[in-house]
Structure 1
Amino acid sequence: MKKTIAYQGEPGANSHIACDLYNSNLEPVACRTFDEVFNNVIEKKNDLAMIPIENSIAGRVADIHRLMPTSGLKIIGEYFLEIHHTLMGIKGSSLDKLTSVKSHEMALSQCRNSIKNLGLHPKPSLDTAGSAREISETNDISIGAIASKLAAEIYNLSILKENMEDRGLNTTRFLILSREDIEVKDIEKPMITTLVFKVKNVPSALYKALGGFAVNGVNMLKLESYQIEGSFLSTQFYMDIEGHYSEGPVKLAIEELSHYSEEIKILGTYVSKRKR
């Protein structure tokens, strides 16, 4: 029996494509929301999850920072997918007949200038591939969708314009999540450790907390702050660093971080798939 990997979206979504390219031996399972993706893995309905964490143009996927730290799931890998957005419509449609276009808000933001230049009205929806399915169920030649070529094929739509993204090198970084951590056998490979932490509410806490990484020569790849529980009183930080958390310098840096933090959660250590 094939292992399964859950993703948010409908068949033909970029997350679906990422699942296929990451490991063709896994069976992709479509989920309506990110909450459903996480719950499916937590409840053992699916084995893994493919989660978009950030895009090179549109930035981070905010919901993930809220869901991941409390899920108990572990990051076991990353995958980078170059995104190419395609404008499509039902049979008989054309660029001059379109007045509006539907897609996920992230895709719309990545194609903002192209949409504006075509004089189209953007309409946000839950999913890129879902938008393609929705317009395929209408007879309206004035509404288009921005999705993948795979979605156009699945829903029998006409491709009206390729490469709708405003800039080249439009890449989405995905994280692969599992209920159980994996043992990385070859730690000689470039590694990434991802963690979240909350600093103590004392002067210079963040400055002192981060000092251990500089002193121990640990390269910080990403540091982002965000509010938790809808409050401006509590700030959580998301961090990617180079190295395995059990290595000497990384271990010492995290120990230093713990002195100035209320809470630290290691979300996973995994092989880096792209040179930073």
Structure 2
Amino acid sequence: MTAPLTAPSTFPRTGKIAFQGDLGAYSHQACVDACPGMEPLPCRTFEDVIAAMRTGAADLAMLPVENTTYGRVADIHRLLPESGLKIIGEAFVRVHISLMALPGVEIQELEKVRAHLVLLPQAASFLSKYNIRGEAAADSAGAAAELAVSGERSTGVLASDLAAEINGLNILARHIEDHAHNTTRFLVMGHEADLTRRGDHGMITTFVFQVRNIPAALYKAMGGFATNGVNMTKLESYMVGGSFTATQFYADIEGHPDDAHVQRALEELRYFTSKLEIIGVYPADPLRSEI
């Protein structure tokens, strides 16, 4: 099993936690690392994860937001503000890629490997070395489950150690990714925000906003963070409502809304925005500074 990158859990130890993908997915790994006592609830789509929270089928949700290799996860920034959920924590998972096959199969027997499209190029050097071609699959953990029942000795799968363990596959090689730094940041979602918490390694505040339709509004809105010494670690824009003129921004800053300097920065931001919604106030993962 891959050693968890995530720090010791501060989340609930019972109940169900929903994630997108099959059992053995990297999102499942994040659930195991951050919330080891909770029962994982696999869902087909991100929308299904949110629906599981709304119906009470799940107590928490684990959603990937960005990866150090391929950037932000599509649709998450749009879904979060509309979900009605709050970010209550963050978790990091190092994406270690393992090559797995049916028990008894040797690496020389493999002609192809199946994996999610984003994993294949991350193991390009290893695959080239053994002259194994890659084939895109909808989901790496799902590909592992399919291989387990297929009996195909010439096919392997690139996925997590957890996927091999769950599906009874044999790991032929571990950590075959070209870049050792590949890490996914996940957000732990709950129903209610808890503004009383204070993390030993600082706090992160996440919010979305839309600027007013005035000249240099974004520049002026951002000025309050600079003048008040608030570090903004993330700022991304995306269209809303299918309009090129309607842009929403997603931001992470270091600090808590109750901190005086953060209060002043947010007050200045409000003056230049038509919408401002805080969607998470949560302790910074102690491993955040190591990524």
After TM superposition, the score normalised by the length of structure 2 is 0.87
User: Where does residue 62 of structure 1 map in the other structure?
Assistant: 74
Find the aligned partners of 1:232 and 1:101 in 2 and give their Cα distance: 41
User: Where does residue 96 of structure 1 map in the other structure?
Assistant: 108
5 Å matches for 1:1-276?
2-186=14-198, 189-273=201-285, 274-276=287-289
Find the aligned partners of 2:94 and 2:253 in 1 and give their Cα distance: 23
1:231 CA drift (Å): 3.8
Q: Percent identity?
A: 46
1:111 CA drift (Å): 2.8
1:241 CA drift (Å): 0.2
Moved more, 135-144 or 105-114: 105-114
Count the aligned residue pairs.
Answer: 276
1:117 CA drift (Å): 4.5
After TM superposition, the score normalised by the length of structure 1 is 0.91
SS in 2 for 1:201: coil
Find the aligned partners of 2:154 and 2:177 in 1 and give their Cα distance: 21
Gaps of 5+ in 2: 1-12
Q: Measured at CA, do residues 233 and 90 of structure 1 come closer, stay the same or move farther in structure 2, by a change above 3 Å?
A: farther
After superposition, the CA RMSD in angstroms is 2.1
Q: Measured at CA, do residues 209 and 120 of structure 1 come closer, stay the same or move farther in structure 2, by a change above 3 Å?
A: farther
Q: Measured at CA, do residues 112 and 209 of structure 1 come closer, stay the same or move farther in structure 2, by a change above 3 Å?
A: farther
Q: Measured at CA, do residues 29 and 199 of structure 1 come closer, stay the same or move farther in structure 2, by a change above 3 Å?
A: same
Amino acid at match of 2:100: M
Q: Measured at CA, do residues 200 and 106 of structure 1 come closer, stay the same or move farther in structure 2, by a change above 3 Å?
A: farther
Moved more, 51-60 or 68-77: 51-60
Q: Measured at CA, do residues 187 and 91 of structure 1 come closer, stay the same or move farther in structure 2, by a change above 3 Å?
A: closer
Moved more, 69-78 or 86-95: 86-95
1:262 CA drift (Å): 2.2
User: Where does residue 6 of structure 2 map in the other structure?
Assistant: none
Find the aligned partners of 2:195 and 2:35 in 1 and give their Cα distance: 19
Q: Measured at CA, do residues 49 and 85 of structure 1 come closer, stay the same or move farther in structure 2, by a change above 3 Å?
A: same
User: Following superposition, which runs of at least 4 residues in structure 1 exceed 4 angstroms of deviation?
Assistant: none
| Per-residue deviation, residues 110-156 of structure 1 (Å, max 9, x unmatched) | 33444444444433333221110012221222322111112112212
1:50 CA drift (Å): 0.9
1:46 CA drift (Å): 0.7
Find the aligned partners of 1:104 and 1:270 in 2 and give their Cα distance: 31
Contact 1:58 1:110 in 2 (8 A): no
Moved more, 115-124 or 66-75: 115-124
1:235 CA drift (Å): 2.1
Amino acid at match of 2:216: S
Find the aligned partners of 1:64 and 1:207 in 2 and give their Cα distance: 25
Moved more, 180-189 or 68-77: 180-189
Find the aligned partners of 1:201 and 1:141 in 2 and give their Cα distance: 61
Amino acid at match of 2:33: L
